[in-house]
Amino acid sequence: MDFRDSPEEAAFRAQARAWLEANAPLRDPADIEPGVFENWPTETEMQAARAWQRRKHDAGWAGVFWPTAYGGRGGSIMQQIIWNQEERRVVTPPAVLLMGQGHVGYTLLAHGTDAQKARWLPPTLRGELAWCQLFSEPGAGSDFAALACAAERDGDHWRIAGDKIWISDGAYADCGFLVTRTNPDGPKHKGLTCFVVDMRAPGVRVDDVRHPNGGSHFSHVCFDGLRVPDTDRIGAVDDGWRVSLTTLMYERFFVGAWGSSGAFGGPQLRHLIELARRCAPGGRPALEDGAVRQRLAAFTVRARAIEHMSYRVLTTVSQGGIPGPEGSIVKMEFARLSQEMTNFGLELLGPQAMLAGADAPWQGAFQAALLENPCMRIAGGTDEIQRTIIAERLLGLPQESHVPRDLPFRDLPRGGGWRAAD
């Protein structure tokens, strides 16, 4: 595996780095970076994020991989990854617009009509539209194909009824990428259809889901009486499984791309090592203890292994391939590593782990991570789902057979039930 940029990639990286450093301050590696599941952004933060996106757009740096016809740069996927890596080196507003510019945007590029792409993609790249992904449901658990949110045809519209849970960015999203059940009489994978919905339309209710620490990042989105025009359907009727797999594929791919920038375990590991320097039980820094150093060394090895696995994902794409199931390994192992490092940090703190506030910023960072880590093992597919993907698609093991795959959705044993969109 060659970790070096090609001459063309190196030139692009230099150009991107020069523009970023001229337009944003460099990030201090010692800073405690925000977690993945931050609270909803304030109006000021939203305005700053939109302004930063517009500045990138006007300079030709928004949507590096997107076609120029929709406001993008028309570059390669590797150039997009290089840009993402370089952007992490500078301080920018909260990344609250990435959903539309990431996997939702790529899904629209792959499956949207020309009219749909012309309607939604340019304002997304300008920072005018924020998006959310409406997949998970209370009654479906980890089985995405078991979703029950119903869509029924009503002339040139569809009537939507049901709800979605654990929706990131739902509180401020302008548009949602929704997967619904349109055929309950067929197998669960073959009766899904995707839509773009206006998150402020009549019939859409967005409720906050509170974190254990009192904060809020997720939403519970309910649809009751929502009407969506057929022109906002993405892909063919009952072909939503294939369309949504594109979204999930790119979601896991960009998790891997994020890891190639050293994000997986890097900042958290640096904070953990610094914590071991600061903690001095009995007057001796914990970092001088051999057992502590062994744990830190083990974490370092695992973080590097995850980073190199993410490079394998990037290598596939750089050679013209499609992101594969290797991203499931990256996602699952990073979530586990993050949780273990957080727990070890709290062990080092001992009774001080009960403290928080301005006088104890390091303790607060590890406490926040303790409450956030379980989300990491659910978002983007639970550990169990990732193991199934690895087993079936990487190891070639037999598929699960406890439920007949041709059984009609109506007859599946599941919680929550199915109801028509009346």
pTM of this prediction? 0.83
Q: What pLDDT is stored for residue 95 in this prediction? A: 84
Pairing of strands 175-181, 131-134: parallel
Helices 114-125 and 103-111: crossing angle, nearest 10°? 160
Inform me whether the pLDDT recorded for 419 exceeds 90: no
CB 56 within 8 A of CB 50: no
Q: What pLDDT is stored for residue 393 in this prediction? A: 84
Most confidently predicted of 210-224, 264-278, 290-304: 290-304
Phi, psi dihedral angles at 313 (to 5 degrees): -60, -45
How many whole angstroms separate alpha carbon 152 and alpha carbon 225?
11
**Burial (CB count within 10 angstroms: exposed 0-12, middle 13-18, buried 19+), residue 3:** exposed
Count Cα atoms within 13 angstroms, Cβ side, for 294.
3
Q: If you average pLDDT over residues 257-276, what whole number do you get?
A: 69
DSSP state at residue 201: S
Q: What pLDDT is stored for residue 311 in this prediction? A: 76
- Closest by CA to 114, choosing from 153, 73, 67, 158, is 67
**How far are the Cα atoms of 123, 223, 232, 239, 410 from residue 54, in angstroms, in the given order?**
10, 32, 25, 34, 47
Of residues 41 and 156, more confidence is placed in: 156
Which pLDDT tens digit goes with each residue over 103-122?
A: 899 899 999 999 999 999 99
Q: If you average pLDDT over residues 331-360, what whole number do you get?
A: 82
How many whole angstroms separate alpha carbon 409 and alpha carbon 186?
6
How many whole angstroms separate alpha carbon 249 and alpha carbon 262?
21
Point out the least confidently predicted range of 21-35, 288-302, 348-362, 380-394. 348-362
Q: What pLDDT is stored for residue 118 in this prediction? A: 96
**How sure is the predictor about 403, in pLDDT bands with cuts at 50, 70 and 90?**
low
Q: What pLDDT is stored for residue 404 in this prediction? A: 63
CB atoms within 10 A of CB 217: 22
CB atoms within 10 A of CB 311: 18
Which pLDDT tens digit goes with each residue over 204-263?
A: 999 998 877 677 788 999 999 999 999 999 999 999 999 998 888 777 666 555 544 555
* C-alpha 140 chain-centroid distance: 19
How many whole angstroms separate alpha carbon 299 and alpha carbon 304?
9
